[in-house]
Structure 1
Amino acid sequence: MLRLLHWDSNFFAMNMAEVSTTSPVTSPYFHHFIDEHQLDFIQALCKIDDLTTVRFLESENFHMADIKVTFETRIDTNAQNKSSLVLATEHDFPVLQNMMTGLFKESRYSCYQHIFGIEKVDELYKLWMEKSIAGSFDDYCLVIKLNEEIIGFVTIKEDLIDRKARIGLLGIDLKHQGNGMGAKLLTELKVFLESRPIEQLVVSTQGRNYNAMNLYIKCGYRIQKMESWYYWTRSRKEDVQMNRP
């Protein structure tokens, strides 16, 4: 089935939807949904080895846009350790906002600036950060400091029922990258979560982001799963056909 992405549509100012790959979608239903909702963009995320879904998407003019790699690691229980990370507050947002500019150039949005727009993508991640500090998107944001200066951050969403936490955004200030601060941030994050009712930590990144993947592997994470992002966008030919009297 397909579902409309209302928030995304409003934010990016185009009609957007997502294919659910857990249930079959027929070609007639697909085209009826597109026409009914005047869709401009559709995304689909499927297992990398789900060839049935891949063949259907490609037959409907989707193209593979990106690879999503999800890593996981275990969290030990040790409330005696104390992390150096601190919770970000609204007063930290201006610093974090400046730090984030150009930081997510490997994201699945940033690599399709002709669709999403570079300024809107930048705004998206800053809004994500702002809402996470407030606890209205991810649950909280932690920052790492060097000489009292914020040099990195990570946002976290917790699932206390499954005792799992997920990293949303993670970044190190560009001028502090390459000196081990990313590994330190991840190490300190595990220490922080040891005092929480969390047993598993997961994080996803893009297949082209070799630096991030190497960092997670270096810090003891293992690959949990790999998925493919597929995009469909309306072509000029389709626009002409739909506007005919």
Structure 2
Amino acid sequence: MSDSPAISLHREEPHDRGAFTDRVNRIRAGVLGANDGIVSVAAVVVGVAGATSDTQPILAAGLAAVIGGAISMALGEYVSVSSARDSQSALIAKEKRELAEQPEEELAELAAIYRGKGLTEATALRVAEELTAHDALGAHLEAELHIDEHEVLKPWQAARASGLAFLLGAVLPMLAILLPPEGLRIPITFAAVLVALGVTGAIGARLGDSHWVRPTIRVLVGGAIALAVTFAAGALLGAAVQ
């Protein structure tokens, strides 16, 4: 039997909220990590290149920015996700305790939630009873807290992904500033970084099922400002030292 037109029209919509949220979070972490690697390392090497044409200081500053940035990104993501996981675990434990100690009150609370969504009192109570019989904890976590007991946050996984994304993003400005001839370093780095930011911004927007133009423009403008400011600061510092 073929699908109805209504089902066919909505086949590509994200009906699994947990999977969709996890996908969006992974995209966010990856795009942020890569963009941070591109922009922060590019800003450092462009700033140093504005102050001196010597390759050694540029390389040293760039490597320091890559290593420090990757560690900082991974550590920040680990701390953030660990805090979120601790909060999630505490909420799940609290809900388990309430279900064990006051099941009738919890059933009434669940029914009230569905009444608030437009169901009649009798229907809301029946839905609450059936969901409670099937999976009481899961029903309450989903309806009250919008979390899934089985979707446990993974701090180390998030930290590795963010650190790796930063490293991958940082490779581009390092190559762009070190490989070209001295006179072309700055313009090539500017161009390469802006192209890369445009690509990552567009990819992140498309994978997140949103339009790509505005997010891409925001990323490009922010990257261009960062590079221009650090280059100007480096050039002024270099002129002052000379």
TM-score, normalised relative to structure 2: 0.25
Of structures 1 and 2, the one scoring higher in RCO (CA 8 A, sep 6+) is 2
The structure with the greater share of residues assigned to strand is 1
Question: Which structure has the larger Rg over C-alpha atoms?
Answer: 2
The structure with the greater share of residues assigned to helix is 2
TM-score, normalised relative to structure 1: 0.25
